[in-house]
Structure 1
Amino acid sequence: MANQYILLVDDEPNILKALSRELEFWTEERNITILTAPHAIRALEILKEKGPETLLVVSDLRMPEMKGSDFLQVVRDTYPHILAILLTGYSETNEIIKAVRAGIFSYILKPWDSEYLLAEIDKAYETAKLKSEHDKLVKRIQEELKWAGEMQKALLRPVLPQSNSVEYRVSYRPVPQLYCGGDYYDVITLSPDRYLLLVGDVAGHGVRAAFVTGILKAIIYPEYVRANLSKNITPSGFLSWLNDRMNFELRRTTGLLITFFAGILDVKTQYFGFFAILYG
């Protein structure tokens, strides 16, 4: 198990000793190491090395060199995963307000009640653990979404035809932070002069929509285009087949809308016919 730390910051050595003594049994039970600093500057030096593994900071308010409220703001900005408890014997309203704005978890007056101190620290610790687990889960989900987006981009990347008459371009732009989505696009060569242009949108964003675009990519050319290359493919005929095919494929799925556009471009006759439909 990785090391975990709680950092105590106070310019009075007796206070640091008393806090360490109060927390000795509590930290041993949870395999947490106590770190101490006589002022905020030293505390920030410690956090440069131990910050990622530090869950809690208990800080005095009035200290030399840097006030506790300013210190806790730096901690919040630099180490947002760390929860802070303010411990002070002074009632400086402005400084306490600054500390609250810095996002302190709790505020404890000196001299403290031992039972209340341990209860607040334990509450902060459990909250910090939940926050850490949440952050890890969010990171994992983001990594999975990014992977899904890369796979979708590779899957949908069409082989664009080369033509002296028409220039084809596509751009893949998923929703930021989701990395993948419901956009579908393709350009399929039917003959040297005829091209099937496809643009679709699966309602919603994320993996569900991206999965449906993968189904579309997997069935359109192998099941329909290749089987009908010798015939006269039309946008309406293609979309009628796609409607039946997707209704069967997604027969157990509810709340899903697919908008699809199909066009036939004939560069020799300069004719472009198209059809659009909504499935749902």
Structure 2
Amino acid sequence: MRAMLRVLGVVLALAASGCQRQSGAPEDQAAPASPTNAQREAELAAEQLAAIGGPANASQRTAFEGEFQASGSLDSLGGAEGAWELTLLEDYAQFSRPGLGEDGGVVGARDFRERGLRVVAGPLTITIKQEACTASGVELPYVADVLFEGVAYQGCARRGVAAGARPTWASVLPELMPAIDACLARAESPPVRVTFAGALEEGEVSVRLRESDGARRVCTATAAGDNARFEHLSDLDTAPGEGDPEFQRGAEQPRRAACAEQALDSSGQVLGWVIRRRC
């Protein structure tokens, strides 16, 4: 009898062990975590770069020099052309979406390829490819791909920028204000002019300042205005688009009033004054 009980105990133990292994199997086969925005962008960027070929020669790169303007549609808007717009200048790029505001940044070095170009401007990764593209019944010679926050936007592009107000670093001033205010609060020699501000990677903002004693410093802070830190700038260290325009915080009108216009936030509150170099 005792022998039978021992055999029964062994059988039950084996059965329990089998159940544990079976119940643990799904954990070993758990689905991988969803990719982050950065991972998605890296994968898409690699695919888009491969599509425009190897490095361009002198003749090929001429097709991708200069300024570009592009637009495309958002699926949520039923495919209406012009749902987003991109303006790519020599020194700055601006990306606009209806109801979602504007984003942009200083343009880095252009990577010229056989069939297009790649450039990074702040949070934007832009690829221009020479390929026929139809927008609103009109055929344009280029396709534009914009990667932003893990989302890929595609539309049609042409060389040249339409006449009118051209975007500058100050075009997205309200989004930069928390970092600007954090840097201005630690200025050594007020009053201070902001000569440039722009988004960096990993949620940080670069703010360049010219203080009343002529000293120039660059301040880096988070987009929320935290962890502000400074470095001095030499006279030769200038950023593309720096100084045109400049920004003066507060309601007091600057001396060159004819060249200045008020900067307002989305609620109509005065942020300060944008001062153009030429007027």
TM-score range normalised by the length of the shorter chain:
under 0.3
Give the TM-score normalised by structure 1.
Answer: 0.24
More strand per residue: 2
Give the TM-score normalised by structure 2.
Answer: 0.24
